Structure 1
Amino acid sequence: MNNASNRTIDPSCTSKPPLAIDIILKLDLFGIILYSILTFMAAVSMLVFLEECIYIYRKVPANKKSLIIWVNGAAPVIGTMSCLGMWIPRATMFTDMTSACYFSIVVFKFLIMMLEEVGGDEVFLKRAGRHKLRISTGPCCCCCPCLPHVAITKRSLFLLKLGSFQFATLKIVFTILSIVLWTNGNFDLADMNITGAAIWINPFVGILTIIALWPVAIMFMHLKTALRTLKLIPKYAMYQLILILTQLQTAIINILAMNGTIACTPPFSSLARGYMMSQQLLILEMFIITLATRLLYRREYNPLPLEEHNNSEKTKMVVLQESP
């Protein structure tokens, strides 16, 4: 019976992720082709992003340069980090944390970018003085249509910014805390025990994420008509797609790996193979998104026309009638 157990359970199925050199030595022809193509995609994504940065610095007004560069960099940065995690599986936790920290900043930058496309805070408040914000939107309150509309003031605008900014700040803080706890042996993504740090930190970060996405959704619902000519809807779709792929898709694959649904394939354990599949999918997906975002943001950045009182379809914001 011992011999049978030894034949059915490979030692690598219960060990740590393999070293990079172990992966290189065990690659077959298909593996060499796959790793080469995915690495090429990650490299092209970063080159496209660098070329886009040069274009933005030459053609885009100063108040929008850094914002658009941050938002454009989401897909290539995540793709590059995923490529590093693919080649160095033991660094997956750090590459994922780096991608998550970057995207937390992108959430805030996307909100500010929408305001700057209108003309900045002062212009937005001036244009939106007779409008109201509909806060019954996702991901927090999409099921609460009875919520009252909120007047657009400096205070409400500040609260919207604060809602996204807290995520950009606290995500970095909790990432540093996780790394510190990991070095002390107290943080393990696979540890779902009540005494583990991951079971407490990750859900709290998830709550912060939902709170941060809410102001962006509110602002998008308000400005999607005014900024339709600037392709705000497909830009927002790309932003949401990155969020879904990096959070939901990765979480599903990791849960399947922890439950043993994804089989162990030496030199990868089930969990390490799940991480590997997630990294490889992200490289391909971020490559496609990088090309799509390049088309969306590569345009002439002219000032938005002033809003007309006749609510022209090209310039109006969403007008919400007050309840009688």
Structure 2
Amino acid sequence: MNNGSNRSVDPSCTDRPPPAMDIILKLDLFGIILYSILTFMATMSMLVFIEECVYIYRKVPARKKTILIWVNGAAPVIGSLSCLALWIPRATMFTDMFSACYFAIVVFKFLIMMLEEVGGDEAFLRRAGKHKLKISTGPCCCCCCCLPHVDITRRTLFLLKLGSFQFALLKIVFTILSIVLWTNGSFNLTDLSIKGAAIWINPFVGVLTIIALWPVAITFMHLKTTLRTLRIVPKYAMYQLVLILTQLQAAIINILALNGTIACAPPFSSVARGYMMSQQLMILEMFIITLVTRLLYRRQYSPLPADEEDPKDENAKMVALSDSS
């Protein structure tokens, strides 16, 4: 009986992901249609992004161009890399790493974008210098209502920027380290033993991610009323949605694959099939987000009125706290 059970296990269920040519040769009619549609979506996402870049260069002030291009590129870049991993499954680890590095930069750029929308650092300090920041927000301290409110100073602004910038920098550093360890056979995403490098690097990167998201949330909560006319709330929602889909959704699918919940389907092992399903969902989701993002950022970029001299109007626009609170 044991021999029979051993013969029933397909060897591909324990192998590495198949080469790209093996996938192409084994595609049936449904697979050809599915891969064609997903590739078309990824291509259209990138074309929409290129068209948006042209619009930004023509219509947007110089100091905002690079920032908006980085933020707008999150969904199409991730979707295109997912499409590449769909066709070349053995490159999945690298495409996921590059997607994560790009989004780490987007986290920092989104914070800078909110500051630029109110006129830059100096304008932000003039508008908000009389108020205080509420730091008891997610993802770090949403339940810590006892935390004191912080004065808005140059030092505070520097710390907010530093909190997000460290993630953009260190994520790239840890990605390079992971690739170097992988070439030495010391890094394997499926190796969750205490001796594996992945079990140490990934949780540490997760902590850095939470720390980086905190300054963005603090700044958004303070400026969401001021920038409401610029549709900052749906923009922030799209940014958060990309974060959830690229981090939480992918992690859930990968855990199910590692546990064997996702069945093996030759030529894909359970893990490879989980990665494939994650890439397919990502392409569809990033395509939709790309279209929504284009609508949100397609506008005339004129500066906000300089209303910092009107205390009543400023109190109505800023999420502010008096010194006595």
| CA distance in structure 2 between the partners assigned to 1:226 and 1:198 by the alignment | 42
- The answer on 1:89 being equivalent to 2:89 is yes
Identity of aligned residues (%): 81
Query: Counterpart of 1:320?
Result: 321
- Partners of 2:187 and 2:142 lie apart in 1 by 34
Provide closer, same or farther for how the CA distance between residues 302 and 15 of structure 1 changes in structure 2, counting only shifts above 3 A.
same
Aligned equivalent of 1:212: 212
- 1:7 to partner: Cα distance: 4.0
CA contact (8 A) 1:226 1:314 kept: no
The match for 2:14 is: 14
In structure 2, distance between residues paired with 1:190 and 1:323? 53
What is the CA distance between 1:319 and its match in structure 2? 1.3
Q: Deviations over 1:149-197 (max 9, x none)?
A: 0000000000000000000000000000000000000000000000000
Structure 1 residue 316 displacement after superposition? 1.7
Whether the aligned pair in 2 keeps the contact of 1:67 and 1:112 (CA below 8 Å) is yes
Alignment of 1:217-228 (within 5 A): 217-228=217-228
- What residue is the counterpart of 1:295 in the other structure? 295
Structure 2 counterparts to residues 61-76 of structure 1, below 5 A: 61-76=61-76
Q: Distance in 1 between matches of 2:258 and 2:306?
A: 54
Cα deviation digits, residues 46-102 of structure 1 (max 9, x gap): 000000000000000001000000000000000000000000000000000000000
- Matched residues in 1 for 2:243 and 2:111: separation? 15
Does residue 186 of the first structure (1) align with residue 149 of the second (2)? no
Gapped runs of 5+ residues in structure 1?
none
Do 1:46 and 1:77's aligned partners in 2 also have CA atoms closer than 8 Å?
yes
Residue correspondences, number: 324
- Determine the C-alpha separation between the residues in 1 that align with 2:144 and 2:324: 16
Q: What letter matches 1:247 in structure 2? A: Q
Distance in 1 between residues matched to 2:25 and 2:19, nearest whole Å: 10
Distance between the aligned counterparts of 2:186 and 2:99, measured in 1? Answer: 22
Residue 148 in 1 paired to residue 135 in 2? no
Matched, 1:114 2:114: yes
Deviations 1:188-216 (A, max 9, x none): 00000000000000000000000000000
Q: Within 5 Å, which residues of 2 pair with 1:166-185?
A: 166-185=166-185
Q: Distance in 2 between matches of 1:2 and 1:223?
A: 65
Tell me the amino acid that sits aligned with residue 35 of structure 2. Y
Equivalent residue of 1:192, what SS?
Answer: coil
SS in 1 for 2:172: helix
Q: Does 1:157 align with 2:157?
A: yes
Question: In 1, Cα distance between the equivalents of 2:200 and 2:68?
Answer: 34
* 8 A contact 1:227–1:315 mirrored in 2: no
How far did 1:306 drift?
A: 1.8
Three-state SS of the structure 2 residue aligned to 1:277 is helix
CA–CA distance in structure 2, aligned partners of residues 290 and 283 of structure 1:
10
Distance 1:314 1:11 in 2: 67
What is the TM-score with the length of structure 1 in the denominator?
0.98
Is it true that 1:37 corresponds to 2:37 in the alignment?
A: yes
Secondary structure, in 3 states, of the residue corresponding to 1:312? helix
Asked if the contact 1:193/1:199 (under 8 Å) is kept, the reply is yes
Q: How many angstroms apart in 1 are the aligned matches of 2:158 and 2:8? A: 60
Deviation at 1:322, TM superposition (A): 3.0
Task: Give distance in 2, aligned partners of 1:63 and 1:231.
Answer: 20
CA contact 2:131–2:323 (8 Å) conserved in 1: no
SS at match of 2:313: coil
1:275: Cα distance to partner? 0.3
* TM-score normalised to structure 2 length: 0.98
Q: Which runs of 4+ in 1 moved over 4 A?
A: none
Alignment of 1:235-246 (within 5 A): 235-246=235-246
Q: 1:267 to 1:45 in 2, by over 3 A?
A: same
* Structure 2 segments unaligned to the other structure (5+ residues): none
> Residue 6 of structure 1: CA displacement?
3.9
Corresponding residue for 1:283? Answer: 283
